[in-house]
Amino acid sequence: MSHERIEAEVPSLEESWRIGAIVGPSGSGKTTLAKAAFSQGFRDILPWRGDVAMIDGLPDRPLAELMSLLTSVGLGSPRIWTRPFHQLSSGEQFRAHLARALAAPVDEARHSVLVVDEFTSNVDRTTARSIAAAVGATLRRNPQLPRLVVVTCHHDIVPWLSPDWHVNLNSGSAVLERTRVARPLVKLEVERAPQSMWQQFRKHHYLHGDLGRSSSCYIAKWQGELAAFLAVVPQLGRAGQKRISRIVTLPQFQGLGIGMRLAEHVARELSARGHRVTITASHPGVIRRCSSSPHWKLQRYSRTGKAAPQQFCERTIASTIRRPSASFQYIGVVDSQPAARDENEVRS
């Protein structure tokens, strides 16, 4: 029995990097290379219990940390957290696997590296790009999480992951690129939408109720595909004030920041017409984005928020969760021109 020899340069764990990728077709030796270079980073995939909420299958960490981690990999809905693992879609299951692996205790003696083989191989390519973008951003935002090496046959996720290095295995050769790959731009098209469009998004939002009759609705499309929905309502008794009441991004697009980019685009246009725009949220991703953006000003913050009806089977939580909530006012530059002012383009 013959064994093919693979010679490749791979950055060591002593070097400073956060994300790496090994890419090549089936049979090219990419998994063999990963095991030779980062054997300590391979983790056993433990089965998920079928009778408990998915969040109960994560390592023992403070609830706030788990909610933040799940949100950062594109699982920001409490409705998903409370479902058993087997009820999740293939994309949601992959994100849950990633969250569980990233939440595992870090062993500094082993350089805290995580290797994910067959990265995004079992999900559609739109979901794959969203997952790659979400995971890449999460690791760079949270240096306490382990470093990541992905092994994949799909070249399309490399720019979305934006690794510090990647090895390309093709035709028996191995080429190491040490230049960080820039993430592609996400160019959105924003349109006004009828309230009936809410029916395509409501099951993905924790509030199932109908929209108010006075709601104004907007949608965002990416590459011609419907990606996100937003609703705005007037504030009763407050002339000229509008409140963003719904932001929903379809699961396959979560992790690209589309929802908040839609919110900022709509808020900018409404502000240009003289409206005061606010948003109140308990979603960790929305709070994080507004808190770090110069376009939003914090008005109110509550550490306990309102009681939410989600229940968890085993964690030391009462029958309701009190998540932090915050209110923000949009204070971005008022400009009547609908041109892009973000790192990515948005068109009306």
Pairwise CA distance, residues 218 & 242, whole Å: 14
Res. 331: pLDDT tops 80: yes
Are 123 and 217 members of one domain?
no
80, part of any domain: yes
pLDDT in tens, 198-220: 999 998 887 667 898 999 999 99
Residues ≥6 apart with Cβ < 8 Å to 288: 68
Res. 312: pLDDT tops 60: no
Res. 315: pLDDT tops 70: no
> Could you tell me where the DSSP H helices lie in the chain?
30-38, 63-72, 78-81, 90-103, 125-141, 158-161, 258-272, 284-292
pTM of the model: 0.83
252, part of any domain: yes
pLDDT in tens, 79-92: 888 899 999 998 89
Pairwise CA distance, residues 199 & 144, whole Å: 40
Are 225 and 146 members of one domain?
no
Residue 139 contacts residue 18 (beta carbons within 8 Å): yes
Are 191 and 140 members of one domain?
no
Here the CATH number for the domain that contains residue 325 is: 3.40.630.30
331, part of any domain: yes
Greater model confidence, 108 or 93: 93
What residue has token string 């290095």? 165
pLDDT at 198: 96
Q: Which of 150, 177, 204 is a domain's end point? A: 177
Q: Which residue in 73, 58, 168, 156 sits closest to 105, CA to CA?
A: 58
pLDDT at 304: 66
pLDDT at 245: 95
pLDDT at 128: 92
Are 170 and 210 members of one domain?
no
Q: What's the mean pLDDT in 40-55? A: 89
Pairwise CA distance, residues 236 & 204, whole Å: 27
C-alpha distances out from residue 258 to 137, 144, 223, 247, 348, Å? 14, 26, 12, 10, 14
pLDDT at 203: 86
Pairwise CA distance, residues 146 & 99, whole Å: 12
Are 313 and 336 members of one domain?
yes
Here the CATH number for the domain that contains residue 60 is: 3.40.50.300
Query: What is the domain count for the chain?
Result: 2
Are 265 and 171 members of one domain?
no
What residue has token string 């994309």? 91
In which domain, by residue range, is 66 found? 19-177
86, part of any domain: yes
Are 139 and 191 members of one domain?
no
Are 167 and 230 members of one domain?
no
Are 252 and 224 members of one domain?
yes
Percentage with pLDDT > 70 across the chain: 86
Greater model confidence, 205 or 47: 47
Residue 247 contacts residue 253 (beta carbons within 8 Å): no
Pairwise CA distance, residues 102 & 268, whole Å: 36
Count of C-beta atoms within a 10 Å radius of residue 213:
7
Residue 107: pLDDT band (50, 70, 90) is low
pLDDT at 277: 98
Q: What's the mean pLDDT in 138-164? A: 94
Least confident of 175-184, 235-244, 315-324: 315-324
Residue 72: pLDDT band (50, 70, 90) is confident
Radius of gyration of the chain (CA): 22
Res. 1: pLDDT tops 50: no
Q: Which of 177, 206, 234 is a domain's end point? A: 177
Are 199 and 342 members of one domain?
yes
